[in-house]
Copies of this chain bind each other. A is one copy, B any other.
Amino acid sequence: MSQSVLRAARIIDAIADEPRTVMELAATFDLHRSTMFRELRALESVGYVHRRKDGRYRLGLHLVSLARRAFDDLDLPGAARDHLRTLHGIVGNTVHLAALVEDIIVYVDKVEDPSGVRMYSSIGKAVVPYASGVGKAILAGLDVGARDAVLAGATWVKFTENTISSRAELDRQLDLVTQQGWAADDREFEDFINCIAVPIVTPLGVVGALSITAIRMVQDLDTLKTRIPAMLQTATLIARELG
């Protein structure tokens, strides 16, 4: 059973790449025309591919409706929950999880440091994208269009002296974030708080980010940076669990 399904999946991928004819696909997969024809007919009957008037096959609509549900079922908090707690056990700091939900970034989970100061941040609260570690970690992984959408309502309020206050400056920083794979918030939202964030990247792109936070006087940014490897691994584990 695996062979048929595997090949069907590869055929669908080929069609996703660009619409193809029966002959092209038969040649690509080294199959007889008749075989490929039957395969495509089967895929068409379940709505996975669709035959255009010109004879080429493209992806079918049923795939889209499936994906909508797959996306709705995507449970970032659920997938992350245990890993965040494990990370917290390692680093000790408050750990935040943020998700990108339709152009806005929202905190969806956090693990407080019981011994430390409780910080003001609540689950469900929207994140200021340009003034937070998770915001920057997520923005750095988006293409221009998506980045524009997230920043559409940006007011560029200067919360602190370090707050990024222009799109140009932000874009410059995001380039760096993309390169290094993590983002810092160096007193950019609150004067006494630092944080480091890493994106959670699935085959779909960035779906969220996680961060660790510290009071500046207790731990400086360089101390937090030593935690980056652990954070990256946590992010990878969460991504794997998602998909």
Residues of chain A at the chain B interface (Cβ within 8 Å): 1-2, 4-6, 8-10, 12-13, 16, 19, 35, 38-39, 41-43, 45-48, 50, 53, 58-71, 73-74, 202-204, 241-243
Across the two chains, which residue of chain B brings its CB closest to A36? Answer: B1
Does the CB pair B67–A64 fall under 8 Å?
Answer: yes
Does the CB pair B1–A4 fall under 8 Å?
Answer: yes
Among candidates B6, B43, B204, B241, residue contacting A46 with C-beta atoms closer than 8 Å? B6
Among candidates B53, B62, B71, residue contacting A64 with C-beta atoms closer than 8 Å? B71
In the bound complex, how far is the Cα of B4 from the Cα of A8, in angstroms?
9
A137 to chain B, nearest CB (A): 19
Does the CB pair B43–A5 fall under 8 Å?
Answer: yes
Does the CB pair B70–A2 fall under 8 Å?
Answer: no
Among candidates B9, B61, B203, residue contacting A70 with C-beta atoms closer than 8 Å? B61
Across the two chains, which residue of chain B brings its CB closest to A41? Answer: B2
Does the CB pair A16–B66 fall under 8 Å?
Answer: yes
Does the CB pair B39–A5 fall under 8 Å?
Answer: yes
| Contacts A/B (CB < 8 Å), 24 sampled | A2-B38, A4-B4, A4-B5, A4-B8, A5-B5, A5-B46, A6-B42, A6-B46, A9-B46, A19-B73, A50-B242, A61-B202, A61-B242, A61-B243, A62-B203, A62-B243, A63-B63, A63-B66, A63-B70, A64-B70, A64-B71, A65-B203, A65-B204, A67-B70
Across the two chains, which residue of chain B brings its CB closest to A4? Answer: B4
